[in-house]
Amino acid sequence: MARKKKSAEEGASWMDTYGDMVTLLLCFFVLLYSMSTVDAMKWELVVKSFNPNAEKVSQIVIEQDQNEDGMEVPGGTDVPLEEIEDFEDLYYLLMEAVEQNGLEGDVELHQGEGYTFINFRDNIFFDGNSAVLKEEGRQILSAFVGALNDVSSTIGEVQVLGHTSQALPDVPNDPVSDRVLSSERAARVAAYIQMNGKIDAVKITSIGYGQHRPVAGFATAEERAKNRRVEILVTKDDAVVQSLEEYYSEIYEASE
């Protein structure tokens, strides 16, 4: 018996279904693409972190401009600059401040789960045995306070930690002057943040540890210089609070 031939309509039905599926997939990927944006600032900072000596970043980074409403054009975020409130953006804002002020050798940044940590060499802010903020230090601190202000609504606490170091390898500092100096330096920085920032004063704390939280030895001048520092620990409002030792283990031990 001769096999009955399928009609043209019956043979084409599976192609119609397949075509509809491909069309829907295309629409789906177009939707995903339309929702995505490239944050040029973050991309540029990431690229520069891998190749700090490069004069130019890949052309994939589109120059950012702003329209008359302060909105960034495509290639950046779609949020007005004055409304940046994501805590995770703080790290990138601080990196930009470091780069603009040429502080790569004097400031260290670390981003962890729910916190951002800043380590300043103390000679940025203070002269030796002094707790008076230098004018240069005020200008640098203003740039960092500006970054904190951009995400102030998401900040849970700002801790300013002051540290000294032994002047001589085998001679501990006088306990009174050692602790007073480190505490006063931390308090000066905390007060500046309070007076020039948008962060609630109750969220700002300061403490001086003297020479008792070293991150290097005391044997050489280079080691002692590393210990003389001011640190700022910024935690997110809903972050799980850790002890200072736990933060240090993530920050300093991981960088060794």
Q: What is the pTM of this model?
A: 0.69
Residue with tokens 């040029």: 40
Asked if 186 contacts 161 with a C-beta cutoff of 8 angstroms, the reply is yes
For residue 214, give the amino acid letter. Answer: P
One-character DSSP codes across 120-140: EEGGGT--TT--SPPHHHHHH
22, two tokens: 């491909």
Asked if 121 contacts 134 with a C-beta cutoff of 8 angstroms, the reply is no
Asked if 124 contacts 137 with a C-beta cutoff of 8 angstroms, the reply is yes
pLDDT of residue 194: 97
Asked if 209 contacts 161 with a C-beta cutoff of 8 angstroms, the reply is yes
pLDDT of residue 3: 56
pLDDT of residue 135: 94
How far is 156 from 176, CA to CA, in rounded Å? Answer: 31
pLDDT of residue 30: 67
pLDDT of residue 88: 86
pLDDT of residue 163: 97
Instruction: Kindly report the number of other CB atoms within 10 A of residue 87's CB atom.
Output: 20
Q: Tens digit of pLDDT per residue, the chain (256 long)?
A: 555 555 555 555 667 777 778 788 777 776 666 555 545 555 555 555 445 455 444 433 334 444 444 444 444 444 444 444 588 889 999 999 999 888 988 999 999 999 999 999 988 999 999 999 999 999 999 999 999 999 999 999 999 999 999 989 999 999 999 999 999 999 999 999 999 999 999 999 999 999 999 999 999 999 999 999 999 999 999 888 899 999 999 998 766 5
C-alpha dist (Å) from residue 36 to 8, 48, 85, 89, 224? 43, 23, 19, 17, 48
3 state SS of 227:
helix
How far is 184 from 197, CA to CA, in rounded Å? Answer: 19
What are the residues whose beta carbons fall under 8 Å from the beta carbon of 97, sequence distance 6 or more? 103, 143, 144, 146, 147
